[in-house]
């Protein structure tokens, strides 16, 4: 710690007034319904120097941190939210995201993709022994625990850690002290704080720390204002024009200028795929943890990505010979989807998991604390991640460090931004439309057969902020005039449905109040009406309010055909039935949308979880029977059309890609938004309505 800071801290400890230690964790229930989205600074809102804005100003003055720097750091961590005193998915608390030792209960249980058959290929189901839950100890392997900053920040200001978790003003003050402790010499020039901001990221990788700082300074250059989750309007004015356009060794791309160009080469070489390339250079970086290299990863230049290769090797003996944990291709594949997952575990366990040939795989992992990106499987190869082989063969899977409901309640802005940059880059490279028919959550992927529907995964769940995510990708969800369908679009900050199941020991207990991206669907236009049924997931039983039950939910950005309207309620066609959600004009939860719809030519049209070819198309591979899911579409119903594809099946039944076989038929399928998950219908059974 520098001497000048030590003097300030001593004075502060003696003179700082006490703040309430019993700040309620629950968020206010009476926030205005029209909280604005993040806006460029100077958009016209009057931000008084009170509340959270004044907390930042006071902390900045007290510890000699330029206010713009303090606001920029906090925005990239929490968007200035208090989050009710609950931790992020990285274990960070408050507006300054002060990281505590992650609670032990967050490490209990299994990793997200450890349950079920993530390969999802009926022709070669994964042996049961390979899909058993991994012990929580797997999450403690391979990497050290992240540096805990909350205890140190508390010592700097003489405040107990418990208070820093729940008192936003104290949290901001401690965060300012921590940031100042990283600064070598006092300065009022924001540009001089670049290295301190990089250190605040907590990353042991200089490139990632630099990327974090670049992102903070990008926010400072642009300026932003927003109302926080607990009602405070905060503004960061754009920094003066004399701030350099970039400060680090690589420039942080403007959000409007992302494209599909690679930092170096388009595809990792064979040597890179085998993990033999040298690690990322930089003092203090433990390259042995990941066998990484920035030049090998398929990423936009502004992201500090590392190559952390997934296992691709044989194991077992004689008749029990097998391989894992993904399939390599000798040809170029078509990518139609990017699938968003959460890890249901900490980033610490990722290296040991992806190196296990008996485990599953995915293409990328993004760390919550600083947005660090690791790539494991080349995007032209097939990872085993979605539980549906058809989707796996046509998708890229991205895991985000975090939890659907336990362990951490919110995702950092650093993670959202890194993911948005990556998805925009991948979508441009592979020509994937940036919409909710192609950017899927794992909870939007259909089951392959009736037997697999109930066990499909539910991540990332209703607490993933899809509207903000698409805003960052510069594809915001907008209303259309005279649309015959709707896009689900509740206000994430103020829309707080009552969910249960966040506490595994008390599954009927209500989850803490939390912004959500999903609306609940009822059988009639009243809140007391039962939730609609999902016969594939629950049989004849009604859906529930469990945060893990998507059977009666529609998610932000998804487009549905309107079935009826009554007062403040709107009905959509959903799983073969009318499903009602509250959609008052004063606080709308959906907006009008345009786009193609489909309606059945006859009653009882069958629905499928895979777009496989007709039987006669199979010449060199075993026939894969078409097994309809337990849903049908009746006459008069309409559903949104997301895509039309030709049935195909990729038989990857050998370690060597030269032995793989592609079967393409003539049967055409429409991808529709049937329920919370997308599904497929034969095009010949439907009529397209434009």
- Only one residue has tokens 């392959």, namely 448
Distance CA 672, CA 559 (A): 10
Do you know the residue count of the chain?
Answer: 690
What pLDDT, on the 0 to 100 scale, is given for residue 45?
47
Distance CA 552, CA 313 (A): 41
Distance CA 167, CA 83 (A): 11
**Structure token pair of residue 378:** 């080349």
Using DSSP, state whether 491 is helix, strand or coil.
coil
Distance CA 422, CA 302 (A): 10
211 φ/ψ angles, rounded to the nearest 5 degrees: -65, -40
HSE value, Cβ hemisphere, 13 Å, CA-based, for 319? 0
582 φ/ψ angles, rounded to the nearest 5 degrees: -75, 125
**Per-domain residue ranges for the chain?**
3-102+145-252, 257-462, 479-593, 600-689
Q: Which of 540, 518, 423, 523 is nearest to 473 (CA)?
A: 423
Residue pair 179/196 in contact by the 8 Å Cβ criterion: yes
HSE value, Cβ hemisphere, 13 Å, CA-based, for 447? 21
What pLDDT, on the 0 to 100 scale, is given for residue 276?
31
CATH of 3-102+145-252, picked from 3.90.320, 1.10.530, 1.10.10, 1.25.10, is 1.10.530
What pLDDT, on the 0 to 100 scale, is given for residue 126?
84
Using DSSP, state whether 272 is helix, strand or coil.
helix
**Structure token pair of residue 452:** 């697999």
Average pLDDT per consecutive 10 residues, the chain (690 residues; last block may be shorter): 37 32 35 45 55 97 98 98 92 95 50 65 79 44 67 97 97 98 96 96 91 95 94 94 50 41 37 32 31 68 92 89 94 97 90 93 96 97 97 98 83 96 98 99 97 94 97 97 94 95 92 94 98 96 95 98 98 99 98 98 98 97 96 98 98 94 98 99 96
CATH classification (class only), 257-462? alpha beta
Q: What is this structure's pTM?
A: 0.87
Q: What is the DSSP letter of 357?
A: T
Terminal C-alpha separation, the chain: 66
Distance CA 562, CA 544 (A): 23
What pLDDT, on the 0 to 100 scale, is given for residue 89?
86
Kindly list the distances between the CA atom of residue 628 and the CA atoms of 355, 613, 672, 679, 685, in Å, as whole numbers in the listed order. Answer: 36, 14, 15, 10, 14
For 251-310, where are the alpha helices, taking DSSP H only? Answer: 270-273
């Amino acid at each position: 710690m520098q001497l000048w800071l030590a003097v300030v801290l001593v004075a502060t400890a003696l003179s700082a007034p006490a703040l309430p230690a019993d700040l309620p964790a629950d968020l206010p229930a009476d926030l205005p319904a029209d909280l604005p989205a993040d806006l460029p600074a100077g958009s016209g809102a009057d931000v008084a120097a009170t509340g959270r804005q004044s907390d930042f100003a006071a902390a900045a003055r007290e510890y000699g941190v330029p206010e713009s720097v303090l606001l920029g750091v906090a925005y990239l961590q929490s968007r200035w939210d208090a989050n009710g005193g609950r931790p992020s998915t990285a274990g960070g608390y408050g507006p300054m995201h002060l990281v505590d030792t992650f609670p032990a209960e967050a490490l209990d249980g299994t990793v997200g993709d450890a349950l079920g058959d993530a390969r999802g290929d009926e022709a070669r189901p994964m042996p049961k022994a390979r899909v058993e839950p991994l012990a929580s100890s797997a999450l403690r392997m391979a990497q050290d625990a992240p540096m805990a900053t909350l205890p140190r920040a508390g010592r700097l200001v003489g405040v107990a850690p418990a208070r820093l978790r729940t008192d936003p003003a104290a949290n901001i003050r401690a965060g300012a002290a921590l940031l100042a402790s990283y600064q070598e010499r006092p300065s009022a020039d924001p540009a001089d704080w670049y290295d301190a901001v990089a250190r605040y990221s907590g990353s042991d990788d200089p490139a990632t720390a630099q990327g974090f700082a670049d992102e903070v300074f990008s926010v400072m250059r642009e300026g932003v204002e927003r109302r926080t989750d607990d009602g405070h309007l905060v503004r960061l004015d754009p920094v003066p024009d004399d701030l350099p356009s970039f400060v680090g060794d690589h420039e942080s791309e403007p959000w409007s200028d992302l494209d599909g160009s690679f930092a170096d080469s388009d595809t990792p070489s064979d040597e890179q795929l085998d993990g033999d390339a040298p690690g990322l250079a930089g003092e203090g970086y433990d390259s042995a943890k990941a066998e990484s290299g920035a030049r090998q990863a398929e990423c936009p230049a502004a992201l500090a990505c590392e190559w952390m290769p997934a296992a691709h090797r044989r194991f077992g003996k004689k008749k029990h010979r097998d391989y894992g944990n993904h399939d390599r291709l000798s040809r170029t594949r078509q990518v139609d989807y990017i699938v968003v997952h959460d890890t249901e575990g900490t980033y610490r366990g990722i290296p040991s998991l992806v190196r296990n040939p008996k485990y599953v795989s995915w293409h990328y992992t993004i760390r919550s604390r600083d947005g660090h990106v690791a790539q494991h499987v080349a995007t032209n190869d097939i990872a085993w991640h979605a539980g549906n082989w058809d989707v796996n063969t046509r998708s890229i899977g991205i895991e985000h460090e975090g939890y659907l409901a336990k362990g951490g309640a919110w995702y950092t802005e650093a993670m959202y931004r890194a993911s948005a940059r990556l998805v925009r880059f991948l979508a441009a490279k592979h020509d994937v439309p940036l919409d909710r028919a192609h950017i899927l959550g794992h909870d939007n992927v259909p089951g392959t057969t009736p037997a697999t529907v109930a066990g499909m995964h539910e991540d990332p769940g209703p607490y993933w902020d899809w509207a903000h995510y698409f805003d960052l990708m510069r594809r915001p969800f907008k209303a259309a005039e005279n649309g015959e369908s709707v896009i689900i679009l509740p206000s994430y900050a103020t829309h707080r449905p009552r969910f249960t199941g966040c506490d595994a020991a008390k599954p009927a207990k209500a989850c803490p109040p939390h912004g959500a991206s999903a609306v609940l669907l009822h059988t009639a236009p009243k809140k007391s009406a039962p939730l609609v049924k999902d016969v594939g997931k629950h049989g004849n039983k009604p859906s529930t309010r469990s945060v893990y039950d998507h059977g009666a939910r529609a998610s932000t950005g998804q487009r549905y055909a309107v079935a009826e309207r009554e007062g403040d309620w709107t009905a959509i066609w959903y799983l073969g039935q009318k499903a009602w959600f509250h959609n008052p004009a004063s606080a709308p939860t959906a907006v009008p949308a345009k786009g193609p719809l489909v309606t059945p030519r006859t009653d009882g049209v069958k629905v499928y979880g895979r777009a496989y070819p007709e039987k006669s198309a199979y010449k060199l591979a075993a026939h894969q029977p078409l097994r309809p899911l337990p849903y049908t579409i009746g006459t008069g119903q309409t559903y949104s059309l997301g895509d039309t594809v030709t049935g195909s099946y990729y038989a990857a039944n050998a370690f060597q890609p030269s032995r793989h076989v592609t079967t393409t038929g003539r049967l055409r399928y429409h991808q529709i938004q049937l329920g919370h998950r997308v599904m497929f219908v034969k095009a010949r059974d439907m009529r397209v309505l434009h």
